[in-house]
């Protein structure tokens, strides 16, 4: 009996990667041939990964299960990806982090749980109704004092932080809101984080649509443009992880 059942977003992202393997999109990297060796939807391997890596705080798990039942539950970041971010936040001893796109606050709570008591998550969203779902659990976990929720367009919050002299004071940023603004979010976050800080950018594969972005798909166009830009950006080092719907880690030099 598995400890965790594969959550929706992991399954969606992994299913996409499964398709990528099956269609040879990732050929050249020892492409597995049999379905047993691909990490697809409901894959036993994906279940195995979660069973052997996920250590989820009980209140975080409660919020994940609550969010999974929401009609837009698929927007929640995957639990394995959230755990990676928590590990990075801990590793770099982050004190100040920014989250662009909070939704119900699963990852907000995830990061707040590993920040020191005087740490802060500046949590940006335009929809307070979503955040209201997670807020009681932030409190139950005893970390609500570390979360500064700002309900307004994230660009405005980032500009306010820059205007108030907070450039180069953040350690970590997670970009996961409207994809059309990703390039602006990246540029502003890069100014806000310190050297040695990390920016994690979600959905950089956009369900595979970055391979051939349609002219009328502004989100796919923007993400693809950002992926191209990051490859050549001398201000950072990068890694792309095929986790969930793809996540880029940009390390500020
Ligand atoms: N990071 C969240 C998590 O871990 O569960 C998921 C975020 S969800 C994919 C995207 C969120 O971005 C939504 O809650 C949406 O309201 C928010 N959003 C959309 N446009 C925005 C904007 N211009 N400024 C701030 N937030 C925005
Ligand atoms: Ca996302």
CATH number of the domain to which 161 belongs: 3.40.50.150
ipTM, two decimals, is: 0.99
Position 46 scores a pLDDT of 86
SS3 235: coil
The range of the structural domain enclosing residue 28 comes to 8-51
152 pLDDT exceeds 60? yes
Mean pLDDT of 13-20: 46
Q: pLDDT tens across 37-73, in order?
A: 556 667 899 899 999 999 999 999 999 999 999 999 9
Residues 92 and 135 in one domain: yes
32 pLDDT exceeds 70? no
Residues 145 and 45 in one domain: no
Position 41 scores a pLDDT of 62
What is the distance between the alpha carbons of residues 60 and 245, in angstroms, rounded to a whole number? 21
Taking ligand 2, which is a single-atom ion, which protein residues have CB atoms under 5 Å away?
A: 176, 202-203
Residues 30 and 118 in one domain: no
Pocket test for ligand 1, best of 56, 65, 106, 126 (most atoms within 8 A of CB): 126
The order of strands in the sheet holding 120-125 is: 147-151, 120-125, 96-100, 170-175, 193-202, 247-252, 236-241
Q: Whose CA is nearest to atom 25 of ligand 1?
A: 125
Residues 84 and 194 in one domain: yes
Residues 26 and 113 in one domain: no
Residues 211 and 152 in one domain: yes
Determine, yes or no, domain membership for 65: no
Position 4 scores a pLDDT of 52
Q: Whose CA is nearest to atom 20 of ligand 1?
A: 178
Determine, yes or no, domain membership for 46: yes
Determine, yes or no, domain membership for 3: no
Cα–ligand 1 centroid distance for 28 (angstroms): 35
Mean pLDDT of 141-164: 98
Ligand with the closest atom to the CA of 75? 1
Determine, yes or no, domain membership for 202: yes
Determine, yes or no, domain membership for 63: no
Beta-strand runs (E) in 139-192: 147-151, 170-175
What is the distance between the alpha carbons of residues 231 and 226, in angstroms, rounded to a whole number? 9
Determine, yes or no, domain membership for 72: no
Residues 16 and 88 in one domain: no
Residues 240 and 159 in one domain: yes
Structure tokens at 237: 């080092």
Mean pLDDT of 28-44: 53
- DSSP assignment letter at 27: T
Mean pLDDT of 10-15: 47
Q: pLDDT tens across 208-239, in order?
A: 999 999 999 999 999 999 999 999 999 999 99
Confidence of residue 5 (pLDDT cuts 50, 70, 90): low
Residues 149 and 214 in one domain: yes
| Closest residue by Cα to residue 93 from 116, 111, 110 | 116
Confidence of residue 156 (pLDDT cuts 50, 70, 90): very high
Q: How many domains is the chain partitioned into structurally?
A: 2
What is the distance between the alpha carbons of residues 100 and 118, in angstroms, rounded to a whole number? 20
Residues 42 and 91 in one domain: no
Residues 123 and 189 in one domain: yes
């Amino acid at each position: 009996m598995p400890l965790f059942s594969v959550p929706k977003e992991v399954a969606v992202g992994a299913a996409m990667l499964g398709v990528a393997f099956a269609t040879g999109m990732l050929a050249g990297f020892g492409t597995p041939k049999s379905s047993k060796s691909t990490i697809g939807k409901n894959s036993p391997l994906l279940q195995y990964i979660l069973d052997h890596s996920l250590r989820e705080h009980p209140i975080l798990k409660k919020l994940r299960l609550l969010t999974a039942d929401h009609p837009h539950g698929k927007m929640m970041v995957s639990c394995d990806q959230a755990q990676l971010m928590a590990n990075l936040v801990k590793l770099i001893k982050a004190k100040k982090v920014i989250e662009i796109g909070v939704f119900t606050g699963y990852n907000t709570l995830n990061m707040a749980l590993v920040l020191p008591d005087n740490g802060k998550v500046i949590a940006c969203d335009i929809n307070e109704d979503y955040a209201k779902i997670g807020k009681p659990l932030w409190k139950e976990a005893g970390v609500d004092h570390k979360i500064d929720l700002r309900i307004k367009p994230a660009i405005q919050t980032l500009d306010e932080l820059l205007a108030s002299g907070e450039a180069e004071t953040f350690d970590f940023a997670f970009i996961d809101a409207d994809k059309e603004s990703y390039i602006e979010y990246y540029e502003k976050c890069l100014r806000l984080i310190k050297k040695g800080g990390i920016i994690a950018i979600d959905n950089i594969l956009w369900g595979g649509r970055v391979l051939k972005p349609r002219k009328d798909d502004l989100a796919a166009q923007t993400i693809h443009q950002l992926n191209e830009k990051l490859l050549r950006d001398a201000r950072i080092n990068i890694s792309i992880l095929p986790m969930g719907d793809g996540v880029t880690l940009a390390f500020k030099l």
